[in-house]
Amino acid sequence: QSVLTQPPSVSGTPGQRVSISCSGSRSNIGSNTVNWYQQLPGTAPKLLIYRNNQRPSGVPDRFSGSKSDTSASLAISGLQSEDEADYYCAAWDDSLSGVTFGGGTRLTVL
């Protein structure tokens, strides 16, 4: 069981806006920044959001991140079929002295 809790799956139709939640605790999200990764089928993960809400160059502004207290959220607007992937949140955990990932959320574009 992961330290960070994500919904196993979310779905949406093209053009829709969806969000993925990531719930943690004071020792991880509550004290440190959150990063998000996208893993397309059969490929290595890719950094999507860092420091809670920053996008690396090349990531479309349809992707946005936010954090409040011990929870974080990834929002995807203008949903496209190519967004169908697994999404993971991650943060440093002060209690574990290590990086912890959420269990992952599979996004299905209907």
Residue 87: name the closest of 42, 34, 29, 48 by CA: 48
Helices (H), the chain: none
Nearest distance, CB of residue 66 and other proteins, angstroms: 16
Tokens 């059969």: give the residue.
42
Nearest distance, CB of residue 89 and other proteins, angstroms: 10
Residue 89: name the closest of 58, 61, 53 by CA: 53
Q: Which is nearer to other proteins, 69 or 78 (CB)?
A: 69
Binding residues vs other proteins (CB under 8 A): 2, 32-33, 35, 37, 39, 44-47, 50-51, 56, 86, 88, 90-92, 96-104
Nearest distance, CB of residue 110 and other proteins, angstroms: 23
